Structure 1
């Protein structure tokens, strides 16, 4: 088997046959971090660094691990200097999925077969410069070539979505929809909370000096997102918190927070529990999917927080958090009434999440996320799903990508991993052949499209 050849990730012939049945299916991506301005401007990328690494903290972290100075990662060094630094250490990151993703991008998107190293860096730089300068090599065209059918950006709750209004007039395919992200107005213990709340009030023309005004602004935001085709809320937190909290109690906490009063841990939890339930009610009324991204410990490496130019890369995961107890009230309140997708970046939580998903017909497991979206992580999670829950109730792959070039490579890695897992089961006599072919098609495309985008014909 050659590097990234046609048998990449396959252990048997059944896996290859299954993959061939799904490899050309369109991509539907319910969660990514696309730069909509980049897509809207639709200009050529200037070089390989801009395409592959300028916005990718996965790359930055690995460069730091191999001793590359920050100047050549997020600093003021030229893009070529940064690319040469990355290429020099690239063979040293083999085994990490980033090594495969970027090589897949080069081979599948740019048609460059050279493996990245110090010896090939100059050649790849020059060759990619020529390719990226071609008139047809622009964001919108690339998305179409990758067969991206529908994609959802991640948008802050206070956004007015001006780019979305423009892109809908300019581009028919892929259909690009916003996703309602509420983290910044929920996490009132964070420094940016007050600024985010004020921005929400200003953008949606509501007096947010009391909780009623804040909730009116939040509802206006929700309505605006819905008008522009939003089909999902996206809510990230370290630990989800849900239990009944009275409006008057939440209002006292909210006003105190606006006034700069120091809040207790219990007060912070009470406000979050109140707001999460209200968000759930809004999503239910609009028939949106509600996505929970659980377990991220933000800013763990404090050095990276001291200088904004150094960006992301200091977040971690931990097994030490409570999930089952904390979302019990939310899940039971919305039992069979609201589609809920649970993502966890920590593999030790998958068993708990899969048993929760099994207990509720409206709860789905999200794709192996962040540190787990590798062939190893994907296969491990897929096997866990089949052990406890059902593939047909899996929410499917999301790219979570910050760069357009990786939409197809991340999707390919998932579909190959899926084909390998199901192919193994087929070879072991666990699944009939026709059932296996139907299953991989459902998980790759038809299931996620039905879950997230069933309303699309109404938009």
Structure 2
């Protein structure tokens, strides 16, 4: 019987062990999409305790605690940090077979050298031991990143963000590259006219442009796109239910925008047309600048209205949606490709039913100009677990080139989440190890090792401009 979470965790063959330990283990990390808070990196803060670095903002853990019958007061409420941690510790034994069980213990091992199991009995000891370490210089947020050999991270930033903390990091000359990513979802959210107008008012303030019509709106957002580029941004990101690719004319979009500015209701079809026009415009700008554009597709967000009202978005009330994806993605990418305006593109699906769809869709627009120009991104959100990663890599192997895959990212708000890269790398090496030992691919350890290293690091290094 194997020991839980030992050095050969998830590695079931001797070849898998060799691939991981000799090739994958020590590769640096490029985390090209996450939700880390830039000012915490720039100010290199130390968290006060383990709860603050581990539980604040982590809706994965929050959902598990709620499912385990933990009162909201111990999750997002006013209980003390230790009381919240204790309730999480009591929940951990009930997360068996959930990736949280693996992640929790990997993070305790990798950052704090804690090798015991977390539960209600060990909670106080582990909390105090880890909290004491978090007070030291080594455990500042930049120190935590260095522990996992994080070379670069890309945060997620709204067009109206000042980027002052990215500027501070650039000025200070940190050895960790931190770049913004342009996330303009709010700028196209025409399904909430009042909210969009409030957003436009903020945009006017940061650009000093009076937005009276669609042309000046594009001018103001383009100014922010340029500003992001001037501050090291080379990636955009969109969180969408599905790609929007309705047919429209410029005159239609101008008329729709005039209605928006007049606070008039617009139809569902007008919402789709406006979103389509904005999404296409963002893609044109991305291509002009040589950026990579990312599309996270398929989340059904804010399902629980009562809790959304109480806690706001991104607090654990989202799920997989069953949106139709293929035709709209094809239409959108084809329109860009026809005009020779298709930038490097990464597609992520949240519904596993879309796996083979994505694996084949990317092949329609890989034109030989760049290796892996159009990518199917790693298992995302509910799919960034062992089964989800294996299914994603198997489908990509069967219908594309796994060898050109840009690999894993955390998509996380936690500075302790980077062992997820290790988790991914172990699973990757185990897949290759099984194939070699089964005689399905040659026993050429150097070539297999090279491919592993490419997927873990070099493909992303060559794909992104960071």
**What's the CA shift for 1:258?**
2.1
Equivalent residue number for residue 219 of structure 2 = 216
Pick which of 139-148 and 269-278 moved more: 139-148
Equivalent residue number for residue 338 of structure 1 = 343
**Aligned-partner Cα distance in 2 for 1:137–1:34:** 16
Equivalent residue number for residue 370 of structure 2 = none
Instruction: Give yes or no for the alignment of 1:153 onto 2:135.
Output: no
**Aligned-partner Cα distance in 2 for 1:128–1:145:** 15
Equivalent residue number for residue 4 of structure 1 = 5
Q: Deviations over 1:120-168 (max 9, x none)?
A: 0111111112211223210112212221111100001221211111111
Alignment of 1:40-439 (within 5 A): 40-190=42-192, 192-308=195-311, 312-318=315-321, 320-335=322-337, 337-361=342-366, 362-407=373-418, 409-432=419-442, 433=444, 434-439=446-451
Pick which of 35-44 and 414-423 moved more: 35-44
**Aligned-partner Cα distance in 2 for 1:213–1:41:** 36
**Aligned-partner Cα distance in 2 for 1:243–1:154:** 27
Given that residues 293 and 344 in structure 1 are in contact (C-alpha distance below 8 angstroms), is that contact kept between their aligned partners in structure 2? yes
User: What is the SS of the residue equivalent to 2:137?
Assistant: coil
Given that residues 394 and 443 in structure 1 are in contact (C-alpha distance below 8 angstroms), is that contact kept between their aligned partners in structure 2? yes
Given that residues 145 and 415 in structure 2 are in contact (C-alpha distance below 8 angstroms), is that contact kept between their aligned partners in structure 1? yes
**Aligned-partner Cα distance in 1 for 2:253–2:403:** 39
**What's the CA shift for 1:244?**
4.0
Q: How many residues align?
A: 452
**What's the CA shift for 1:273?**
0.9
Q: Deviations over 1:196-244 (max 9, x none)?
A: 2221221111111211111011111110111111111101110111144
**Aligned-partner Cα distance in 2 for 1:69–1:184:** 32
**What's the CA shift for 1:430?**
2.3
Pick which of 163-172 and 271-280 moved more: 163-172
Given that residues 75 and 310 in structure 1 are in contact (C-alpha distance below 8 angstroms), is that contact kept between their aligned partners in structure 2? no
**Aligned-partner Cα distance in 1 for 2:123–2:270:** 54
User: What is the SS of the residue equivalent to 1:234?
Assistant: strand
**Aligned-partner Cα distance in 1 for 2:311–2:33:** 25
Alignment of 1:19-38 (within 5 A): 19-20=20-21, 21-38=23-40
**What's the CA shift for 1:311?**
5.3
**What's the CA shift for 1:309?**
6.5
Given that residues 302 and 313 in structure 2 are in contact (C-alpha distance below 8 angstroms), is that contact kept between their aligned partners in structure 1? no
Q: Deviations over 1:317-347 (max 9, x none)?
A: 12x3221111222211333741110001111
Cα distance 1:165–1:310, how it changes in 2: closer, same or farther (>3 A)? Answer: closer
* Structure 2, unpaired ranges of 5+: 367-372
**Aligned-partner Cα distance in 1 for 2:405–2:200:** 34
TM-score (structure 1 length as normaliser): 0.96
**Aligned-partner Cα distance in 2 for 1:371–1:42:** 30
User: What is the SS of the residue equivalent to 1:437?
Assistant: helix
Given that residues 239 and 297 in structure 2 are in contact (C-alpha distance below 8 angstroms), is that contact kept between their aligned partners in structure 1? yes
Q: Deviations over 1:357-407 (max 9, x none)?
A: 122213111010000001111111101110111113323211101111112
**Aligned-partner Cα distance in 2 for 1:422–1:38:** 38
Instruction: Give yes or no for the alignment of 1:448 onto 2:460.
Output: yes
Q: Deviations over 1:288-336 (max 9, x none)?
A: 0110100111101222212137851000112x32211112222113337
Given that residues 406 and 457 in structure 2 are in contact (C-alpha distance below 8 angstroms), is that contact kept between their aligned partners in structure 1? no
Given that residues 304 and 313 in structure 1 are in contact (C-alpha distance below 8 angstroms), is that contact kept between their aligned partners in structure 2? no
**Aligned-partner Cα distance in 2 for 1:307–1:158:** 26
Given that residues 243 and 332 in structure 2 are in contact (C-alpha distance below 8 angstroms), is that contact kept between their aligned partners in structure 1? no
TM-score (structure 2 length as normaliser): 0.94
